[in-house]
Structure 1
Amino acid sequence: IYVDRQLHNRQVKGDLYDVFLFAWQIYPPINVLPSLSRLMKSAIGEGMTRKDHGDVSNQLYACYAIGKDVQAMKAVVGEEALTSEDLLYLEFLQKFEKNFINQGPYENRSVFESLDLGWKLLRIFPKEMLKRIPQAVIDEFYSREGALQDLAPDTAL
């Protein structure tokens, strides 16, 4: 695996670049967990983006963080020791990195396309596991038509 040392050694307000994502050819190789903007809250939501934006963002972030924890646990105890819920988080982690974080250098994905993609990924989980999204928002967005289209064929949900 080729590792770009310049990219790996770059420090932008912490470790925003993830050398492992880079090695897996995820572009841009942004480490999601430390890069969440605290300023985002004042620029999202109904009237600016979409009413589900904050809830989807929080749920995606939580699922990704749990997925990273499960991935670390898997390295210690092995996949056979993981619960079915843990395996859902691992599936989410893989598809989140492959389909959500990964954008081609010339891809121009809108906020609305990203929100729709976020919902596609959250559908990996049963509705009951989406604890950070109000039930009214789940009722409106979870079961949208065409929800499973447009993902990479090898990672289709």
Structure 2
Amino acid sequence: IPILTMPNDDITHPIPDLTGFITEGQIVLSRELDSKNIYPPIDILTSLSRLMKDGIGKGYTREDHPSVSSQLFASYSRVQEVRSLAGVVGEDELSKNDKMSLEFGKLFEEKFLKQGKEEEREIGYSLDMAWEILSNLPRSELTRVSLADIREHIRVAGD
């Protein structure tokens, strides 16, 4: 695997930015996740795969894989926004949904992202775990998954 470091962790620096165009994807490691002892410390929001869309879903992994993946990305992105807001106004001033997003973020990092160094996870197990973690969010926050999938896979908090 080619490894590229960048000045000041700046992924927009011309060298990593241009190098990214000739690869099939990038795995970006996060110093913040590493400092929380999350292994592997993969920053899912800046990492990408240009091939994933052609290898997931019905006939490849599981039918719900594309939508649950999209929902995880959207929900974790929201976590980052709420963390920034909490840094300004304090957690006590956050709405109930914002606090639920923070809790989702902790669960997502500790249960989904964090893996033992010798741990081997089956895709079905990971998808089931994703639904379990998403069940901690109110239904109004689950905008990337179908109602049928919600009914099949989770009981949504806050209903």
Query: Normalised by the size of structure 2, how large is the TM-score?
Result: 0.79
Aligned residues: 137
Structure 2 SS opposite 1:105: coil
Equivalent residue in structure 2 for 1:136, among 138, 145, 148: 148
Equivalence for 2:109:
97
What is the identity, as a one-letter code, of the residue corresponding to 1:128?
Answer: S
Equivalence for 1:83:
95
Structure 2 SS opposite 1:106: coil
What is the identity, as a one-letter code, of the residue corresponding to 1:93?
Answer: G
Q: Which runs of 4+ in 1 moved over 4 A?
A: 11-15
What is the identity, as a one-letter code, of the residue corresponding to 1:72?
Answer: S
Q: CA RMSD in A?
A: 2.2
Q: How far is 1:23 from its partner?
A: 1.1
What is the identity, as a one-letter code, of the residue corresponding to 2:133?
Answer: L
Where does 1:113-128 land on structure 2 (aligned, <5 Å)? 113-128=125-140
- Give me the whole-angstrom Cα distance separating, in 2, the residues matched to 1:39 and 1:93: 26
Where does 1:28-67 land on structure 2 (aligned, <5 Å)? 28-67=40-79
The answer to whether structure 1 residue 16 and structure 2 residue 28 are counterparts is yes
Equivalent residue in structure 1 for 2:38, among 26, 29, 39: 26
- Give me the whole-angstrom Cα distance separating, in 1, the residues matched to 2:104 and 2:118: 25
Structure 2 alignment gaps of length 5 or more: 21-25
- Give me the whole-angstrom Cα distance separating, in 2, the residues matched to 1:87 and 1:106: 33
Equivalent residue in structure 2 for 1:108, among 92, 115, 120: 120
- Give me the whole-angstrom Cα distance separating, in 2, the residues matched to 1:36 and 1:100: 17
- Aligned residues of 2:27 and 2:48 also touching (Cα < 8 A): no
* Identical columns (%): 40
Q: How far is 1:84 from its partner?
A: 0.4
Residue-by-residue CA offset, 1:33-56 (whole Å, 9 max, x unaligned): 011323211111111111100010
